[in-house]
Amino acid sequence: ILWCSWEFKFIELDDAYATGSSIMPQKKNPDVAELVRGKTGRVYGDLMGLLTVMKGLPLAYNKDMQEDKEPVFDALDTVEMCIPVFAAMLDTMTVRTDNMRAAAGKGFINATDCADYLTKKGMPFRDAYTATGRLVAECTAKGKTLEELTLAELKEVSNLFGTDVYEALKLENCMALRGSCGGPAVSETRRQIEAVEAFVQSREKE
């Protein structure tokens, strides 16, 4: 829902799973996502009702447990209704990778890599940290990203910068270095996807 908003526009839902606004012609409401979000409250309510019934039992079977059927059946019916529609919504949505890439470049997420670059060139990290901070401030003032600074602009802060800095600041390379469990490296992301797919397949066999 957040990613559909104009502030992000990371994804765009198919018209079959969205509607227009009654007052704002430019707006596209992610109906299915919003309805499922609402249904989540209903399922949580079923869970809390069931837990409250069971919590009050001292031992064995009591007539209270007549109340355990309705929330279980309602939760299952609700989830089974939501999943196929939500899955179809995901299958037909468009992922705006161009907007994602542009957004990734605005947060100076490669600033640490810039400091690491200077450290590898022999500068103490505390000085590299300060130098990178100066560059970030300069970028903010000029409306640039770190990788958009010219080599001359970089060298005004430190002569240790060379043309190889642009490879170090490239977001794709920065991501590739984060290969720890759960990290954003492509190899790690693929591993996580494969793990989820294997889990789903194992559940389907059961």
- Give the integer Cα–Cα distance in Å for 17 and 33: 8
What's the pLDDT score for residue 33?
A: 95
**Are 136 and 113 in contact, with CB atoms under 8 Å apart?**
no
**Are 66 and 37 in contact, with CB atoms under 8 Å apart?**
no
What's the pLDDT score for residue 99?
A: 94
User: In this structure, which topology does domain 11-101 adopt according to CATH?
Assistant: Fumarase C; Chain A, domain 2 (1.20.200)
How is the chain split into domains, by residue range? 11-101, 105-169
CATH 3.40.50.300 fits 105-169, yes or no: no
Record the pTM.
0.73
**Are 188 and 180 in contact, with CB atoms under 8 Å apart?**
yes
Divide the 206 residues of the chain into consecutive groups of 10 and give the mean pLDDT of each group.
92 91 80 95 96 88 90 96 96 95 88 96 96 96 93 96 95 91 92 94 86
The full DSSP string for 62-119 is -GGGGGGHHHHHHHHHHHHHHHHHHHHHHHHPEE-HHHHHHHHTTTTTTHHHHHHHHH
Domains 11-101 and 105-169 share a fold: no
What's the pLDDT score for residue 61?
A: 82
Give the largest CA-CA distance in the chain: 80
- Give the integer Cα–Cα distance in Å for 154 and 36: 49
- Give the integer Cα–Cα distance in Å for 74 and 89: 23
**Which candidate, 83, 81, 71, 77, places its Cα nearest to that of 44?**
71
The secondary element (H helix, E strand) that includes residue 19 is strand 19-20
